[in-house]
Amino acid sequence: MGTVTLGVSIAVPEPYGSQLQQRRAGFGDAAAHGIPTHVTLLPPTEVEADRLPEIRAHLAEVAAAFRPFLMRLAGTGTFRPVSPVVFVQVVEGGAGCTRLQGQVRDPDGPLRRELAFPYHPHVTVAHGISEEAMDLAYADLADYAADWVCESFALYEQGSDGVWRKLREYPFGTGPTGVPAQLGSPVDEPTVRRS
């Protein structure tokens, strides 16, 4: 049956997602239009295609037990010189992302894998472009800010054309007690503020 390359991420919603994607393209990042704007939970991972039903069931279970949490982006950061990346920082919601990615990559689950670097939630806005263009991205988005309530994550597959396409959205649901999830996460602030 062959293999597929999967990723799991939190999509940056509209209008922010398109805005950042256009900015990324404007900095000269050729991959911008093939990668939806996101916060990674599982980096590109090659798996046997026949494991998709097990993977989908695992992700549904993770999402069902999770609660919505506030995500706030502000300012820029970079992984240079270790990795040629400029990103918009996740300044609120990072603990929720960290907990969620740990559950997605559960060592006993179907998506277990080691990471090349410690997990650091972020939104990439430039990758592998000239140093001058990376400097521009870093400076140009230094005052960028956005916030939303994260209520789901999604499973993506990378096509042979290099484009990432969403396979399924996993909305956060009720926990094992059957009590409806409420805004706020035990790992973030107890209440969600909207601006």
Question: 3-class SS at 94?
Answer: helix
The structure's pTM equals 0.86
What's the whole-number mean pLDDT along residues 150-175? 92
Place of tokens 């900015």: 23
pLDDT above 80: residue 180: no
- Band of pLDDT at residue 174, cut at 50, 70 and 90: low
What's the whole-number mean pLDDT along residues 182-191? 38
- Band of pLDDT at residue 159, cut at 50, 70 and 90: very high
Tokens of 99: 């907990």
Give the integer Cα–Cα distance in Å for 100 and 43: 13
- CB contact at 8 A, 20 and 37: yes
- CB contact at 8 A, 152 and 63: yes
Tokens of 115: 């990471």
The percent of the chain in helix, strand and coil, each rounded to the nearest 5, is 25, 35, 40
Strand partners, 11: 38
The crossing angle, in degrees rounded to 10, of helices 131-140 and 16-26 is 150
Tokens of 80: 């240079």
- Band of pLDDT at residue 193, cut at 50, 70 and 90: very low
Pairing of strands 122-127, 69-78: unpaired
Nearest to 123, CA basis, from 145, 139, 102: 145
What's the whole-number mean pLDDT along residues 49-71? 96
Query: What is the H or E stretch that residue 49 is in?
Result: none
Measuring CA to CA, how many Å separate 180 from each of 78, 99, 148? 38, 20, 20
What's the whole-number mean pLDDT along residues 109-128? 94
